[in-house]
Amino acid sequence: MRTYTVAILSDIHYAGPAEQARGKHYELKGIANFLTRALASFFRHFIWLRDPLHKAHLLDQFLEQATDFDYVIANGDYSCNSAFVGLSDDAACQSARLCLDKLRQRFGARLRANYGDHELGKFTMFGGRGGMRLASWRRTREDLGLAPFWQIEIGRYVLMGFVSSLVALPVFEAEMLPAERPEWERLREEHLGEIRRAFAALQPGQRVLLFCHDPTALPFLWREEVVRARVPQIEQTVIGHLHSNLVLWKSRLLAGMPPIRFLGHTVERLSTALSEARQWRPFHVRLCPALAGIELLKDGGYLTAELDPEGRQPARFRFHRLHRP
């Protein structure tokens, strides 16, 4: 029996014309404190991503390299979220639509797309602006047609994708509008119900490849009894969000360390997630880097996984680097 090839890309951060028009310093404009602004500028310029609004060519580069993949998994963050409220912002919605249209035109029914935090909205790392918006959830579902939970069966393999921001919703309490919190909680319980049913339906011989944008969700998933009972069947969990394997490596070093509480909510939330990295271990986490990687290393690219549908050997993952000038 032939093997199947699955391509995985994450954190595309495509910027359409409306987001590009905001200029590369869009994140700094709302930071009043000079020292915080200087720190954010240094972090963005030298470590994270120097000009996030002009990386759309990397998606085109991926599409040029794409061969006859059996499936393609996009693991979230299709826009630059430059207004920080997800796809409720018209410019970000335009970017995400352009990005997904390109993927759908190329791969059609072979594409599965996860939600990232850029789809729903998030606080800025420096400044604490923005947050999750129900209007972004509705647009992602209705306008872009993304399913919150999806599943593919390839022989003995079951591929599953879910919305990490919903599963980890308690962490994002400060980022929700108070009036919207009850509806977010209802959506979370509905989504957890889908996940529970899928794990309960697994057969003993099946292997799971789990796709999750933000690993912050994994400790919450571990609390679900039906998931915990079937964790031995999870061969790999492919995450995004961290952009670089350097960040994943550092998160494992920081596992168990107390969170940083003096640089604002977003940094505290990130450090809390990293300190809980030891709870990721049962899920066998593998990072799919951002297409652009990080500025420090320029280590972006995508993954492919070769699957033997008979399960005679584990999935074979390979990293493909994309060129950045």
Supply the pLDDT for residue 159: 98
Total Cβ atoms within 10 A of residue 66: 16
Cβ contact 95:83 at 8 Å: no
User: Would you say the C-alpha torsion 61, 123, 212, 294 has a positive or negative sign?
Assistant: positive
Supply the pLDDT for residue 255: 52
Measured N-to-C along each axis, helices 245-254 and 265-275 cross at an angle, to the nearest 10 degrees, of 80
Supply the pLDDT for residue 195: 98
C-alpha–C-alpha distance, residues 56 and 17, integer Å: 11
Number of H helices, E strands in the chain: 12, 10
Q: Mean pLDDT, consecutive 10-residue segments, the chain of 325 residues?
A: 94 98 87 86 89 94 92 98 97 98 97 98 84 98 97 98 97 95 98 98 97 95 97 98 85 52 50 67 96 94 97 95 82
Supply the pLDDT for residue 262: 42
Supply the pLDDT for residue 272: 58
* pTM confidence score: 0.92
pLDDT tens-digit profile of 115-144?
Answer: 999 999 999 877 678 999 999 999 999 999
C-alpha–C-alpha distance, residues 272 and 261, integer Å: 9
pLDDT tens-digit profile of 274-322?
Answer: 556 778 889 999 999 999 999 999 999 999 999 999 999 999 999 999 9
